[in-house]
Amino acid sequence: MTVGVWLCAWAVAAVVAGSATAQAGPIVKTPAGALEGVADGGVVVFRNVPYAAPPVGTLRWRAPQPLAAWKGVRPAAEPGPACIQTAGGSGYRGPESEDCLSLNIFAPAAGRGARYPVMVWIHGGGFVGGTGSRYDGSRFARDGVVLVTINYRLGRLGFFAHPAIAATSPDGALADFGLMDQIAALQWVRANIPAFGGDPGNVTVFGESAGGQSVNALLASPLARGLFEKAISESSFAAFPGAALDQARAAAVTYAQGLKISGDAVATAEALRAQPASAFTQAGALTDPGAPRPIVDGVFMSANPLAAFEAGAQIKVPLIIGGNSFEASEFAELVASAPKPVIARLGGDPDKVIAAWGGEPRRAAADYLTFTQVIEPDRRMARDEARAGSPAWVYYFSYVPQSLRASTIGAWHGAEVPYVFDTLNKTPVAARAQPLMPASFPAATPEDEAMARAVHGAWVAFARTGKPGWPAVGPHGDVTMVYGAGGAVVDRSFDKASLDDLEGAARTRAAK
């Protein structure tokens, strides 16, 4: 059904129903049932749209199952609950539920028979927090893109490798349930998005932080093949490996023992599924080996994304990848209190790194962490993509709002998101104030707004044409789009010497 057709259906429904439903929203029919959204300033929005069966009861720790049909018209005006959040999560303070596998759609209201490019956003939150409903896709819709945001299972409800689950499940050793949710959402988009005016043959998947890591994981998984045509990975900390299966299994067993659950596989699996969801929300340090995160489970993916790219085994689609100048803000307290141990843990000689990276320990540690964990791996993945014959573009976001340049050392983790969505003043800086970074976002200046137009415009152009507007990298190229205080500037030798050294050391370690 085209946009024009379903808008006409909405108008006819309103006329037939009379004045009592004169304020009814647009109605779209999907195979599972009809949805009633809202219209707002040239944009139609459908929220809390289910894409899979609720993963509750016996479906906890199962691959997402087909959605049951409903009768009548399902209201789709209000956001649905977030997936259960691990304590500490991403600062979300709204309704939560295990019944959370839903998505939100922002579509242009105009355009009879049009097929708009589609962008599917995967939220961040360290795989333990966040929700797709926090993001406003209206600007994308006004610029001719159908924007979809999704929820996926989080924490130990989304990433759990207990051997009893594997032994009793038809899904086998599957442990990346949250990533399988993303597959199911993309399959839903492929099947249903034409009813909302979207082109199912022109889908761009993109995400930030854990969402960026998800994009990398999707690119490394054969299960995602054919579900999208382009990808954007923002601030993915690509150097962070997925958990090894044996390590993840041991962590899951230890966690279950903490709940006093043990025994044979059937009894253990039943006891785990009988627990309240709150039993699986215990907080853990982001760097804890047992913390919930993607697992190299041999079902969703058989290798970490970096290794898959180096082997040429990734899904080959046009790719934008990049990060921010102060990604270390994610670990700001640690960097501020123990800069030398941070450098040592990352494999560097603290005194040599501090001397080579400016001389001030905290700033050197922050830059070294940012470059070793984000900026260099991004360039490496882009180079490997180019070697495989697929175009890739690299960006570096260092722009700081004008009024904050004296109070922060760079563009913090997540700082690019309000520029990508062109929603300055609507996106919080962080869930909590941290050392070396601001606590709140200021009123946007004309310069800030110009940067938002530049970044957002590049993402929209990529969705439409497969090209963001700056040169792609070559197998050994260093072309980087730098979004900084000087505007959007193409740099053809961005920090080449430092990045070459870091890449050589990283590839040597990986080969051992």
DSSP 8-state code for residue 62: S
Query: What is the token pair recorded at 255?
Result: 């966690």
What's the mean pLDDT in 240-257?
Answer: 93
Is the per-residue pLDDT at 85 higher than 70? yes
- SS3 labels along 471-490: CCCCCCCCCEEEEECCEEEE
Alpha-carbon distances of 344 from 240, 242, 326, 362, 433, rounded to whole Å: 16, 21, 19, 13, 26
With both helix axes pointing from N to C terminus, report the angle between 177-192 and 210-219 in degrees, rounded to the nearest 10: 80
* CB-CB contact of 239 with 323 (8 Å): no
* CB-CB contact of 144 with 105 (8 Å): no
Annotation marks residue 493 as catalytic: no
Distant-in-sequence, close-in-space partners of 69: CB < 8 Å, separation ≥ 6 = 31, 32, 33
- How large is the greatest C-alpha to C-alpha distance in the chain, in angstroms? 77
| pLDDT tens-digit series, residues 429-486 | 444 444 555 666 678 899 999 999 999 999 999 999 999 999 999 877 789 999 999 9
Question: Cα(457)–Cα(446) distance, rounded to whole angstroms?
Answer: 16
How many C-alpha atoms does 257 have within 13 Å on its Cβ side? 7
| pLDDT tens-digit series, residues 137-156 | 999 999 999 999 999 999 99
Catalytically annotated residue among 310, 327, 330, 416: 327
Query: Mean pLDDT over all residues of the chain?
Result: 90
pLDDT band at residue 507 using 50, 70 and 90 as cut-offs: confident
Annotation marks residue 456 as catalytic: no
Annotation marks residue 209 as catalytic: yes
Query: What is the token pair recorded at 408?
Result: 């922060």
Domains of the chain: 32-315 (3.40.50.1820), 318-414+448-512 (no CATH)
pLDDT band at residue 11 using 50, 70 and 90 as cut-offs: very low
The whole model's pTM is what?
Answer: 0.93
Identify the weakest region by mean pLDDT among 3-7, 150-154, 209-213, 325-329.
3-7
pLDDT band at residue 10 using 50, 70 and 90 as cut-offs: very low
Catalytically annotated residue among 209, 233, 236, 325: 209
pLDDT band at residue 287 using 50, 70 and 90 as cut-offs: low
pLDDT of residue 9: 32
Element (H, E) at 305: helix 305-310
What's the mean pLDDT in 158-170?
Answer: 96
